[in-house]
Amino acid sequence: MTVKSTKNAEVKNRKEAATPRGQGTLCSIYAARAENAQLWDIEGRRFIDFVGGVAVLNTGHRHPKILAAIREQLDRFTHTCYGIVPYPSYVELAEKINHRAPGNFPKKTAFFTTGVEAVENAIKIARVATGRLGVIAFANGFHGRSLFGTALTGMVAPHKLGLGAFPPGVFHAPYPNPLHGVSTADSLRAIEFLFKADIDPKCVAAIIMEPVQGDGGFYVAPSDFVRGLRKICDDHGILLIADEVQTGFARTGKLFAMQHHDVIPDLTTTGKSLAGGMPLSGVVGSAEIMDALAPGGLGGTFAGNPLAIAAAHAVLDIIDEECLCERATSLGERLKAKLTAVGEHVPEIAEVRGLGGMIAVEFCEPSTREPDAELARSVIARALERGLLLLYAGVDRNVIRFLFPLTIEDAVFDEALGILDEVFKESVGSTA
């Protein structure tokens, strides 16, 4: 029998002996319990959670309605494999997603377990539906850690380090990034250049993009860029895939981030906050496209697990009942105002950006405008010491992204903003 450790350092030593270093961890604390936007470690220390399991907890830790939905399902059954013995709750959730996803046309939804499963299945669907192989993704994009997900991801470090050849047919173009000199026109021209230099557009099945890049740095897609992608896809018979694994389910102030644009994707991938902490992802899209694969071409042993499906039903109800889209916008505006005010005294803050409650701050050296990852690390470390969990982003890891639960209590949110104030004073030596 293993002796239970009560100190973080003890568990850390056991972790290093028992698990591979590739499973890196941001914190050296170990969770004991959590509630809404707060978390306690095994030593009893309290933390305000501004990471939310990396955008998984838009509805917070252990929302009572989600717990009740899971308990109710536990009393019925925990698993049958949907591909063997299906269940009505899966169908009912698909109907809800079909109704709410962008696009006024018949849609269908399939559920999976992880975000990268949704991405890979979206690519499978696109390839079969078009009879083409090629896929265009974007620099700084993140689409998962499977081999094909890593191929789509537009960052070498840390995701591609030491890996050999990737699956064929993947090409990358720059994503708009005005701070670093990449315009919408630059991005769209780069795709046209791919068509001249690397792949015939008639061989491209899909273009996959994040409406707001997640791990890549929370860069927000401009509407003219999204419209330009739609036109390229329409001109060449290419499918447009919106990867909304991180942006979905109220995070950006809309249920789906693509609803900020007058553009409808052909396929949308979902995950993370879809099931409030339970493992569930999905692909929703045009019924005709979704039906491209033959029976058995989609699925998985645990795909659409009934406990996760029950949690997702509760999540959609909570988003509506607690007006989380509106709250995402309100909280995001308050955070941006705080960071912008700090930026007036901190020249290392190059940009504060975001959409709804998906906010980031980027640090650059003031004179050279080179990425300042050291300052980002310092802010994250000092915040952790004061009881605030933060997470980095960006290809240079010089961005801090904020993913607080949208259900966070106002008093706890204000406390977190106060900690940020203190941390910036310490880290930068300013009078922020």
State the Cα–Cα distance between residues 229 and 209, nearest whole angstrom.
Answer: 9
Question: For the chain, what's the residue count?
Answer: 432
Q: Could you give the CA distance from residue 115 to residue 148 in angstroms, rounded to a whole number? A: 12
- Structure letter (DSSP) for residue 278: S
Question: What are the pLDDT digits (tens) for 348-389?
Answer: 999 999 999 999 999 999 999 999 999 999 999 999 999 999
Q: What's phi and psi for 419, nearest 5 deg? A: -65, -40
Question: Is 312 in contact with 236 (CB distance < 8 Å)?
Answer: no
Query: What pLDDT was estimated at residue 160?
Result: 85
**What is the rounded CA–CA span in Å between residue 292 and residue 220?**
31
Domain 77-321 classification at class level: alpha beta
Residues paired with 39 in a beta bridge:
34, 47
Q: What is the pLDDT of residue 431?
A: 36
pLDDT, mean of residues 227-251: 98
Cα angle 312-416-372, degrees, rounded to a multiple of 5? 100
Q: Where in the chain are all domains bearing CATH 3.40.640.10?
A: 77-321
The CA distance from 227 to 230, in Å, is 5
Query: Range(s) for CATH 3.90.1150.10 in the chain?
Result: 8-62+323-428
SS3 assignment, position 35 = strand
The predicted-structure confidence for 28-48, as pLDDT tens digits, reads as follows 899 999 999 999 999 999 999
pLDDT confidence of residue 162: 83
Which CATH entry fits the domain spanning 8-62+323-428: 3.30.1540.10, 3.40.190.10, 1.10.1200.10, 3.90.1150.10?
3.90.1150.10
326 vs 346: CA distance, rounded Å: 30
Residue 406 CA to residue 68 CA, distance in Å, equals 20
- Given a contact cutoff of 8 angstroms between Cβ atoms, the answer to whether 402 and 376 are in contact is no
Question: What percent of the chain clears pLDDT 90, i.e. is strictly above it?
Answer: 90
- Considering the entire predicted model, what is its pTM? 0.95
